[in-house]
Amino acid sequence: MTERFAGASLIIATYNWKEALALVLSSVRAQTTLPGEVIVADDGSRDDTRELVTREAAAFPVPLRHVWQEDLGFRKGRILNEAMARAAGEYLIAIDGDMLLHPAFVRSHARFARRGWFIQGSRMMLGGRATTRTLAAGHLTAGPFSPDVRNRINGIHAPFLSVLSRGERGSIRRTRGCNISFWRDDIVRVNGYNEDMEGWGREDTELVARLMNSGVRRRNLKFAAVAYHLHHRTRPTDSDAANLERALSVARDGITRCPHGIDRHLRTA
């Protein structure tokens, strides 16, 4: 019988790649421990993504919802704020819509969730050929010992080693919003993602800086919460350097709250 982490909301950020999202949702259905709900946070995809989620929701093992905003450029932080504001769970697990999950992914986040901490997971990277094979097969066809993958160690599921391996705890530079989890009340306290940040990149780093400034500690989870990242063309990175400097400034200045964030959505959730 499949277990359920009823207090968790799994949030999947997506944009115009329904084929990848379909595989991600399939990997969610295969979890040994299901979340209480799944929310697809959609940054302006075409109607085919909405149609996919509607079809999946009809027979999905937990409530599956679609939260969409108009495509006005990269506004991932805003749609994640809206999704988190609507979430019913007290614990939020966030992934990207190109991350296929190991069957014990949710179970791992649940096992290591502790008050006063957030979890930073990692990812094994599939190359172009491995991604093409996986999409054609309709399921993950690569593992840590397969050709055309990077960060192989991140694809190894060995949770007994996770207790011994905590990784770097203080730095914000290795933040990855594609595999991260936190308590909802911590997110509300720092006001979620900063919606004033423009362009692609580092919105997750800036959020983590405020979380850590507020006293929330970081747990880098290795050998558990395993996920596999599909290869795709990257978005323009013109804003990355400026956004990183903004995040580092937030960390240096001890800022804990952004002025324009999740509170905008809590009033209407």
- In this prediction, residue 237 carries a pLDDT of 62
- In this prediction, residue 235 carries a pLDDT of 61
pLDDT tens digit sequence for 20-63: 999 999 999 999 999 999 999 999 999 999 999 999 999 999 99
Choice among 142-146, 199-203, 204-208 with the minimum mean pLDDT: 199-203
Does residue 140 register a pLDDT over 90? yes
Choice among 33-37, 80-84, 168-172, 230-234 with the minimum mean pLDDT: 168-172
DSSP the chain: --EEEEEEEEEEEE-S-HHHHHHHHHHHHT-SEEEEEEEEEESS--HHHHHHHHHHHHH-SS-EEEEE---SS--HHHHHHHHHHH---SEEEEEETTEEEPTTHHHHHHHH--TTEEEE---EEE-HHHHHHHHHHTS----TTSSSEE-GGGG---HHHHTT-----S-STT--TTEEEEEHHHHHHHTSS-TT--SSS-HHHHHHHHHHHTT-EEEE--SSS-EEEPP-PPPP-TTHHHHHHHHHHHHHHT----SSSTHHHHTT-
pLDDT tens digit sequence for 9-22: 999 999 999 999 99
pLDDT mean across residues, the chain: 93
Please state the domain extents for the chain. 3-264
Q: Is the pTM of this model over 0.85?
A: yes
**What's the CATH number of domain 3-264, 2.20.28.270, 3.30.365.10, 3.30.390.50, 3.90.550.10?**
3.90.550.10
- In this prediction, residue 216 carries a pLDDT of 96
